[in-house]
Structure 1
Amino acid sequence: MSTRKIVLSVILTTILILTFFSNLIFTNNSTPTSVVKFDTGDMAWMIVATALVLLMTPGLGFFYGGMVGKKNVISTMLQSFMAMVIVSILWIVIAYGLCFGPSIGGFIGNPIPNLFFNNVGTSTTWSLAPTIPLLLFALFQAKFAIITPALITGAFAERIRFWAYLLFMVLFILFVYAPLAHCTWHPDGVFFKMGVLDFAGGTVVHMSAGWAALAGAMFLGKRKVQKTNPARITYVLLGTGLLWFGWFGFNAGSAMGANSLAVQALATTTVAAAAAAMAWVFFDKILGHKLSAMGACIGAVVGLVAITPAAGYVSIPHAITIGIIASIVSNFAVSKFPKGKIDDALDVFACHGVGGMTGMVLTGVFASKAINPAVVDQGLLFGETKLFTNQLIALVCVSIFAFTASYPLFYIVNKITPLRVSEDKEELGLDITQHGEYL
């Protein structure tokens, strides 16, 4: 039996044993001393929002799968699907505790109290979501962790070995995603205490994925053939629709209840996406290009990315502004990205990385107490500078951390198992060489 088969067998056996005996190994102290009264309306909405966010990941699979060459559609889509599989288990075993467990210095959570969802049940609450069960909060957050490594896959599409990708995904969640989620969304996290505003994942999801994507594209090197015809533009359209639909759960769900803030976030989300799609195709036309389905779809997704950190803090007119600005900035970044030197296959950095950074900066410009009373320091537009400065500090810190932490992870994975397929297999396509399947 090969070393890989032995390792996989040991991992599966260990998880099976620990899961089977979890009630004996771990002491569950989730029963409260007093009865907790939940809001059934909030619970109903958050269950729906959790499902909507999960839908985004297969939506992303269609979005990316339609963009790559025909020989790599299944592999690309499967990378997103397997994120749902692997990260779901990883989240329950340890990652939830790393993100939301008791804080260790404001940088990472202590996972021990919540191993295998110990103390995560239906009778306690998260401090910032007091009207829903802690288990529901934990499941909602799991979907954010699922889609983040899936976003990265667009950068190294058509050339990565599938087992190496799975290993990288696990390491990325543990060593990049978890610290950023804790710093940003935990009440004791360093960014949270600074007053940094990230409503639904501008730093945690999109910037981390964007910078990791850039690191991956640089480490893996260029594809043998960089220019390929998209396999299915119809898949891209379908994926965009699923992403847009699911993003309502992503952003409006981050209000943690069926309330007016959720309505505001839903409104800013849809208008930012529409404004960005409009700006992208208009800008393309100004530059002399045809109005393309691909351009409209990419523009809409960039708008969704950019409004994510701002969704619950800005007005609807300002959401339109954010969508337009982010679309133009990302369009420019795509056109000027050094594709001959760095092969970010599906422009993940230019769209998600740059879009996320643009959204974080503009949150520091447009955030308003009139929209969300929880905003302590308003944006630059309202004459205050502290929030804008904090957003810039977080942007720089996250950018440096996400890139410098991700690049060594690719190096480590490559030492354990090669990241790239051979040139012969790349030429045949990953669908047949990695999975024995083809369209």
Structure 2
Amino acid sequence: MTDAVAAPELATAPARYSGFSAGALWSVGILLPNILSIIFQATQQSRGIGAGDLGTLGAAFVLGRGIVIGTAPFWVYRTNPRQITAGAIIATVAALMAVVFLIGTNRLGLGWFIVGLTSGCVAPPAYTALGNARDPLRSYSIALFGSSLIAAIVAYLLPTLIVPHYGEKGVLIVIAALFLVALPCAWALRDTQFVGKRNAPSALSGKDAPSTGSGRYAAPVIAAIAGAVFTGVFMGGAGAFVASIAAANGIGAKSVGLFVAFALMASLVGALTPSIVGNRMSPIAMIGVATAGIIASYAGMTSASPLIFGAGYVAHAIFATIGYVYFLGVVRSLDFTDRIYVAYPAMDAAAFAASAELAGALLSRSTPTALFLISAVLMVICWFAAVAASRIAASGSPAALEPI
């Protein structure tokens, strides 16, 4: 057994301010992908481009963002988080302004690729800092609550107040302003910097970490894959195709808009729940509860009644968010390398893309029931994988999560 890793020493600024700043930066860093559909809707209206061109813009943005997020485990500990975050925010604002004032329609793809590169550098240092907090689960829970609230407010205000009057330019200027507002928060990341970072499960519990055995690497890798598939299934399945599922049940698009709005608000409850429950219940058990809740929500989403369907979709949002946050905590608690959990958002994105492709193919060839059945099976497998990861880690170290 290795000696327990000492807790990191915090610098002079208050830890609460550092945690708030990391959460704010993470919220801004993931804002663009959360509202990309609204941005591109404004772009389509302002520039008159087709759906195919919008797909190209989206692919360019995702490619640029994917490059920096996918490589984050290699650069996030080799750079100064304060400098890289501040520089990324300034570069993102400049790139957005270039899209607004300098780049023509024929070069929009290049512009959005650059926006993806620059904005993609904002979230990883903040996400890493949250994982190095004294209670990562609570930090992720509160940060996700904040990011969901910001996204919900922005998603409501942009189409109602900005797009009708100012179009694409107004939308991008507002987003650039939000990035600038978050700029001072970058200076606080020095206090949650990665000096003295916890590089073993022992740092999360004060106990020894395993020094040998396959479980040393198997546990965090299995947990990360399970969490990524879990996230991909709920986001790329019922989450992304709710309109198609509702239409197959004979429910109109107007009702779907209300369901999505209520689900966004309900996800705030799901995001905050882990910070309230904490470790009073085993994280693995809570993932099991979330899995059961999601599967139960599928039953409601097979109904032709708008009320029952909507209730099922809202429940789906709550339980999916709970499971997502707890998986964040589990992956972090098992990751002694300090790099696997940094790669976790990129794994989520890859799983989301694969799940969306699978869901689209299923819905085009079969019924929503087939999608729900396959999703339920995958969810259960993810939970069993989380249980297995916990047991593997526990067999090599008392520092791991207690198996249920």
TM over 0.5: no
TM-score normalised by L of structure 1: 0.29
Instruction: With a CA cutoff of 8 Å and minimum separation of 6, indicate the structure with the bigger relative contact order.
Output: 2
TM-score normalised by L of structure 2: 0.31
Greater fraction helix: 2
